[in-house]
Chains A and B, each alone.
Chain A
C-alpha cells in the first residue's frame, strides 16, 4: 500500500512545497514593488487589499457627511436610511476594522459627540449612542453612562483612552448591566473610579476591586439614589448570568430603561408586567432581540432606541445591521412604538411634553456676558450645577 502511494505522495509533497514557496515569494515580491501611494493614478491592479482600503477611505467620510446632514429622527428620511445601509455594507466587510479608514471614522464620531456633549440639555433627556450597547444619558443635572466599552482589542481599542477619559470626566456614574466584555470593561470602570465616580454593576463581578464599586442586583428590585436620578435595578439575566436591567428616573426629565444583554425565558414572568410598575419613556434594548416584540410589550415605552448593532468583534452574521433593525421595527409597527436608530456618536433629544415624566424645561439666560440656565427660579451652570 505504501509503495502504491509513494510516487503520488512525493509529487503531492513536492507540489505543496512549491505552492507554499510561490505563495510566500509572490506576496513578498508584490510587496516590494507596491507603490507608496496610489494617488498618482488610482490604478490598483494586483493590490486588491490596498484597493479596498482606499475604497473605505472614500466611503466612511461620505457616510459621515451624510449622517451629519441627516441627524437622527423618529421619521428617518431616505438619505439617512441610505447612509446607514451603506455603513452596514462597509462594516460587514470581514476585514473592516483592519481598513485604514475605520479608526478615523469611529474616532471622528466620538470627537463630534464630545464636542456636543457639553451643550446643556434644557428639556428632557439627551441620549448618546457609543459603541455596541454603550449609551450616555444626559439631563440638565445628571449624566449617566451605561455599558460603555472601548471595543476592539486591548492593544488597539476602537474608542481611545482619551475618549474614555473624557466620557468618564463628563459623567456622574457608570452603570454596567452584565459581565460580558461587550458590556463591561475594567479600564472604563477604572477611569470612573479614578475620578471618584460611582460604578454600579451586578453583584459578583470584579470582586477584586469591589471596594471601589457598587455591586447591586440580587433577586429583587433595588433602588439606588444617584444625585437627581433614582435608579431601579431589576434582576435580569443573560442565560444564567446576572444582567441588571436599569430603569432610570430622571424626575421631570424622563424615564429610561436599558436592558443590557437580557435573555432568559424565566424572567418573562416579571418583564411582561414591567409596564404596570414603571412608566417608561425610552427603552434602550439590543437590536438582535429574538423576542423584541415581547420586550416592547413588557416595557411599553414611548420610544425605542436599539443598541448593539454592528458589533465588530462578532462574525459577520452576528453583526446586526441597521437595515435589519429598520426591518424588524417596521414589522412591529402594529405596536405603535416609534423608534430612533442611532449610530456611534449620535444623539437624540427626547423631550416629549405629552409624557407625564417630562415636567418642565429650562431656558438659557445671559448674565454679565456668561451663559446660565434658569429653571423654576433657580440658576444653573451650563453643566447643570445649581448656583442659586
Chain B
C-alpha cells in the first residue's frame, strides 16, 4: 500500500512539475529576471556567451602567438562546452552551424599560394591548395537524428571538396553517408583497411599494413602517402598529403599506442612535413612531434561532445598547457576551433 502511495505521489509530482514547466512561462523574461527558470537562464547565458565568443574569435583569428582575447575566447568556449546543460541545446547548434556556414562561405575564396587549413568538428580538417581541396575525417558529429552540423551544411562542404581521406573506422572520424556523398559526386574516398568494403568503387579501403602506400592524384597535383598507424588494434591511417610545390600536411587520426612509435621516430627522414595535425590527446605528444619534425602544429579533436564524459572533452586550454610542456621543441603551433582557418606558406 505504502509503495502505491509513494508511486502515486511520485507520478503526481512529476506531472505537476512538468505541467508547471510547460504552462508557466517566465513572467519576467523581458526584464532578464530568471528566478525559478534555471533552464531558460542558462539558455540565455549560453546564447549570449556563444555570440560573444564568435565575435571575439572573428576579431582575433588564429595566429602562432595567441593573444589574450583569443585565449580567453577559447577558455570561455571550453567552459561552455564542459557544462553538460549546454549539450544538444539550441544555442550550441546555432553556434556550430554559424561557424560552419562561415567556413562554407570562405571555402569559395580561391587560394593562390600555399595551403589554407580549415578546422572542422572533432578531428575534421579541410586543406585547400590552389589546385585541390581535401577533406580529412569529415563528420557531422552528434546523433543521426540530430547531427551537430546539419545535413545541408555538411553536404555543401563535401561538395566543395575534391577527395576525402579517412584515418580510421570510429564514428568520430568516419561517416558513411558523407563518404557516399563524395562518391556520388564522382570523388574518391580513401579509407582504412576493411572499412566500407564493396560499398562503392570510389570508396577505397587501403590495404596498408606495415608499409607506406602512396596514391597519385594527378588531376589535383598531389600525392597521398598512407602510413600504417594504429589506435590500439584498429588500423589508423596516418595520411600524409603532399600538395606539390605548396606544402605537405600529416594527419595522425587517433594514433595511439607505443608499438608504432619506433617508426614514427623516423618519419621526418622520409617526408618533409610542413604541418602536423595530431590529435590533441595523442600519447607521447613530444615524441610524435619530433618524429614528424613539422614546421607547424595544428591540433585536432578538442571538445568532442559525443560519447565521452567531460573529463575526455579535451579543452583548448589543455592544448596550450601541453605545448608549454615542450619548451625545447621550438616548433610553433596554431590553436584553432571549429570553422577557423590558417594560411600556411612554405618559407
Q: Majority SS of interface residues in chain B?
A: helix
Q: Are B75 and A59 in contact (CB under 8 A)?
A: yes
Residues of B within 8 A of A290 (CB): 28, 31, 33
Q: Are A323 and B76 in contact (CB under 8 A)?
A: no
**A-B contact list, 13 entries, CB within 8 Å:** A39-B321, A42-B321, A47-B311, A58-B75, A82-B72, A85-B52, A88-B45, A90-B79, A92-B42, A92-B45, A288-B33, A323-B49, A327-B32
Known: A85-B52, A89-B49. A317 touches B317 (CB 8 A): no
Residues of A within 8 A of B37 (CB): 317
Residues of B within 8 A of A63 (CB): 72
The listed residue (A79, A88, A331) touching B69 by CB distance below 8 A is A79
Q: Are B45 and A323 in contact (CB under 8 A)?
A: yes
Whole-angstrom distance between the alpha carbons of A298 and B41 in the complex? 29
Residue of B31, B56, B82 most packed against chain A (CB within 10 A): B31
Residues of B within 8 A of A65 (CB): 68
Chain B 3-47 per-residue mask, 1 if CB under 8 angstroms from chain A, else 0:
100000000000000000000000010111111111001101100
Residues of A within 8 A of B75 (CB): 55, 58-59, 62, 86
Q: Which residues of B contact A (CB under 8 A)?
A: 1, 3, 28, 30-38, 41-42, 44-45, 48-49, 52-53, 55-56, 59, 68-69, 71-73, 75-76, 78-80, 82-83, 281, 309-312, 315, 317-318, 321-322, 325
The listed residue (A47, A48, A78) touching B56 by CB distance below 8 A is A78
10 A-B pairs closest in CB distance: A324-B32, A48-B311, A86-B76, A317-B38, A58-B317, A42-B318, A323-B48, A328-B32, A89-B79, A44-B311
Q: A42-B321, A44-B311 are in contact. List 14 more A-B contacts (CB 8 A).
A: A48-B310, A55-B79, A55-B82, A78-B55, A79-B69, A85-B52, A290-B33, A292-B31, A317-B34, A317-B35, A323-B44, A323-B45, A324-B33, A324-B44
Whole-angstrom distance between the alpha carbons of A69 and B69 in the complex? 10
Residues of A within 8 A of B41 (CB): 316-317
CB distance from A356 to the nearest CB of B (A): 32
CB distance from A160 to the nearest CB of B (A): 26
State which residues 318-333 of A face B: CB under 8 Å.
318, 321, 323-324, 327-328, 331
Residues of B within 8 A of A43 (CB): 281
The listed residue (A1, A58, A82, A292) touching B52 by CB distance below 8 A is A82
CB distance from B329 to the nearest CB of A (A): 15
Chain A 1-17 per-residue mask, 1 if CB under 8 angstroms from chain B, else 0:
10001000000000000
Known: A88-B45, A89-B79. A66 touches B72 (CB 8 A): yes
CB distance from A327 to the nearest CB of B (A): 5
Instruction: Determine the residue in chain A with the shortest Cβ distance to B32.
Output: A324
CB distance from A381 to the nearest CB of B (A): 38
Chain A 73-94 per-residue mask, 1 if CB under 8 angstroms from chain B, else 0:
0000011011101101110110
The listed residue (A41, A55, A69) touching B78 by CB distance below 8 A is A55
A23 interface residue per 8 A CB criterion: no
State which residues 290-321 of A face B: CB under 8 Å.
290, 292, 315-318, 321
CB distance from A101 to the nearest CB of B (A): 12
Residues of A within 8 A of B52 (CB): 81-82, 85
Residues of B within 8 A of A331 (CB): 30-32
Whole-angstrom distance between the alpha carbons of A36 and B49 in the complex? 33
A46 interface residue per 8 A CB criterion: yes
Q: Are A86 and B72 in contact (CB under 8 A)?
A: yes
A165 interface residue per 8 A CB criterion: no
Instruction: Determine the residue in chain B with the shortest Cβ distance to A52.
Output: B82
A212 interface residue per 8 A CB criterion: no
Instruction: Determine the residue in chain A with the shortest Cβ distance to B73.
Output: A82
CB distance from B154 to the nearest CB of A (A): 29
The listed residue (A39, A86, A292) touching B79 by CB distance below 8 A is A86
